[in-house]
């Protein structure tokens, strides 16, 4: 009998924020949990509470000095100038907040639990609190204090899943993950990300030593273009790699409504990527990542969970789920109110469009290089 997919969440995401001026002041994972429960999609049999990773587990990739600095920052609520300079803690991007260690350690614990579950027969696990793909061994980077995708791949390997395909559709390049696995033939890394956007890495010809496929995307990247990339680049590479497990980082900042990118996907495109990847490996780990519009990120990750777990998504959300979306806010600032469909549906209108000549040329260049 095929196992049911599992969801790993935690209440730490409901009670923590990076601060009132930070893009991660908005709720995200808690919204997915609330919508899932309102829709009957998180029965006890499918929900697991994420453990908090212990320092020794984090030190499988992060330096002991950095892990200790994170713990000290949480305990003291501040950092010295020396720690700020050395570990990039207490900066505008990576502020010290009340759960500065416990929140990322919970994300890391979630992916480690997921690896154990996948090794023991679970076919798929969703960890929306995971996906912090910028973290580096000895410092915070780009809102990411730990790198749970790297820790996930290492845990999957320890559990016997040697060949991993990591696909990242976040609007930002997965620089930390590439740092961890560049040149490793057992790990295929594929990243689609907006060109000219921080961290300004992942160039078209950057193959990371042979195992990395990077595709910078032009502004306005649409659903039609994502299907072209999926069919011409992502799926052939994953099929050729023959992975034991697929890790999909589904950062929701590539959606049209997100304030930190200029890409224009609908969440239908995300669902399409997930559906196409599912048959290509016996196990799949689905992570979160970026996403800074509270309505679009919560709806996207909830729709992905429904897709993974086989739940039918209604055309219009019931009242309890609509109330959850109507209660969200930007948490300050002068951003516009959400469009009506963000409050009463889970699935976006399709955002089709032309396949730009620029993107067509990049796909051709990449596929020619990969065939060589």
The CA distances from residue 298 to 4, 22, 96, 256, in Å, are 22, 18, 25, 14
Give the per-residue pLDDT at 15: 85
* Residues lower than pLDDT 70 in the chain: 1-2
Using alpha carbons, select from 128, 68, 154 the residue that is nearest to residue 249: 128
Give the per-residue pLDDT at 334: 80
Contact 206, 334 (CB under 8 A): no
Expressed in angstroms, the distance from the first to the final Cα of the chain is: 42
Give the per-residue pLDDT at 1: 45
For residue 362, report the phi and psi dihedrals to the nearest 5 degrees. Answer: -65, -40
For residue 295, report the phi and psi dihedrals to the nearest 5 degrees. Answer: -75, -50
Which residues are catalytically annotated?
134
Give the per-residue pLDDT at 291: 98
Using alpha carbons, select from 253, 247, 249 the residue that is nearest to residue 290: 253
Give the per-residue pLDDT at 134: 98
Between CA 321 and CA 346 the distance in angstroms is 10
**Is residue 23 classed as helix, strand or coil in its secondary structure?**
helix
Name the pTM for this structure: 0.98
Structural element, H or E, at residue 284 = strand 284-287
């Amino acid at each position: 009998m095929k196992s049911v997919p599992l969801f790993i969440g935690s209440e730490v995401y409901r009670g923590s924020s990076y601060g009132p001026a930070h893009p991660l002041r908005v709720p995200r994972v808690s919204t997915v949990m609330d919508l899932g429960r309102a829709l009957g999609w998180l029965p006890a049999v499918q929900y697991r509470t994420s453990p908090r990773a212990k320092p020794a587990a984090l030190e499988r990739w992060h330096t002991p000095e950095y892990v200790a600095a994170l713990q000290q920052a949480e305990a003291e609520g501040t950092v010295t100038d020396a720690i700020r300079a050395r570990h990039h803690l207490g900066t505008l991007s990576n502020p010290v907040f009340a759960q500065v260690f416990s929140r990322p350690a919970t994300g890391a614990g979630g992916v480690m639990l997921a690896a154990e579950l996948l090794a023991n027969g679970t076919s798929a696990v969703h960890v929306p609190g995971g996906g912090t793909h910028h973290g580096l061994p000895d410092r915070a980077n780009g809102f990411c204090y730990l790198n749970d995708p790297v820790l996930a791949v290492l845990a999957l390997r320890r559990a016997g899943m040697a060949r991993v395909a990591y696909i990242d559709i976040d609007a930002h390049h997965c620089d930390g993950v590439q740092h961890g696995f560049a040149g490793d033939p057992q790990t295929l890394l594929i990243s689609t990300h907006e060109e000219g956007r921080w961290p300004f890495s992942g160039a078209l010809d950057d193959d990371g030593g042979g195992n990395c496929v990077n595709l910078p995307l032009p502004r306005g990247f649409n659903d039609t273009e994502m299907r072209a990339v999926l069919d011409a680049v992502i799926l052939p590479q994953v099929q050729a790699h023959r992975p034991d497990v697929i890790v999909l980082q589904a950062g929701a900042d590539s959606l049209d409504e997100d304030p930190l990118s200029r890409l224009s996907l609908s969440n239908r495109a995300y669902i399409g990527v997930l559906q196409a990847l599912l048959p290509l490996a016996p196990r799949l780990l689905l992570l979160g990542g970026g996403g800074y519009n509270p309505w679009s990120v919560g709806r996207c990750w909830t729709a992905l969970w429904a897709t993974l777990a086989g739940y039918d998504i209604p055309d219009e959300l019931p009242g309890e789920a609509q109330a959850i979306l109507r209660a969200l806010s930007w948490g300050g600032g002068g951003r516009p109110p959400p469009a009506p469909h963000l409050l009463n549906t889970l699935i976006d209108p399709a955002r089709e469009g032309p396949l730009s000549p620029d993107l067509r040329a990049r796909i051709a260049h990449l596929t020619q290089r990969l065939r060589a």
